[in-house]
Amino acid sequence: MITVRPAVESDLPLLLEIYNEVIMNTTAVYDYEPHTMEMRQQWWQAKQSQRFPVFVAEANGLIAGFSSIGPFRAWAAYQYTVENSIYVAASSRGKGIGKVLLPPLINAAKELKMHSIVAGIDASNTASIKLHQSFGFEEVAHFKQVGWKFNQWLDLKFLQRIL
C-alpha cells in the first residue's frame, strides 16, 4: 500500500538520495553534480518560508518518492503560477508513485489560491508526460535542444494545468 504524507525535515537524507540518483542517472533533472545535504536543507528552508508543501510517498514503510510545488518565475506577475516537481526512487518507478504524489500538489496549489501549475518535463519522459496529462495538464510548449546531458541534446516540454 502507498501512503502520502507531508514531508518532515528528518526525511531530507532520503529525499537527497532520491534526488541525487535522478541527477546522476536520468534526464528528469538537467543538472550534472549531486547535491549536498546543505543544498537540500536550503531547499527545505525555502519551501518552508514560502509555505510551499513537500509530500512523500511511502510504500512498505519506505520513502518511494517525493513531490513539491514552488515558484514558476521570480517576477511579481508570476505569483499565481507554480511549478511542480515529482521524483520517484529508482526501485519504485512504474509502480504508481507519481499518481499518488500529484493530486496533493494540485490541491495544495488550489488552497494557496494559485491559478496555474506548470511542469517542465524532458520530452523523452513519456511516463511523466502521460501522468500529467491524466490529471488535466496540457502541453503548451516544446523547446528543442535546450539541455545537454549524457552527450546528447535534450528537448524540454512544458505542460500546464489551469486550476
Q: Could you read off the pLDDT of 74-133 as tens digits, one per residue?
A: 999 999 999 999 999 999 999 999 999 999 999 999 999 999 999 999 999 999 999 999
pLDDT digits (tens, 9 = 90+) for 8-20: 999 999 999 999 9
Grade residue 36 by pLDDT with cuts at 50, 70 and 90. very high
CATH number for the domain spanning 27: value is: 3.40.630.30
Per-residue DSSP letters for 1-59?
A: -EEEEE--GGGHHHHHHHHHHHHHH-SSS---SPPPHHHHHHHHHHHHHHT--EEEEEE
How many structural domains is the chain composed of?
1
Using alpha carbons, list the distances in angstroms from residue 5 to 43, 54, 81, 127.
Answer: 18, 9, 23, 23
Contact yes or no for 120/158 (Cβ under 8 A): yes
What strand order describes the sheet that includes 116-122? 2-6, 54-59, 62-71, 81-88, 116-122, 152-162, 138-149
The residue behind cell 496549489 is: 109
From the centroid of its chain, how far is CA 79? Answer: 18
Domain that holds residue 34: 2-162
The residue behind cell 535542444 is: 145
From the centroid of its chain, how far is CA 26? Answer: 14
Terminal CA-CA length for the chain? 29
Q: What is the pTM of this model?
A: 0.96
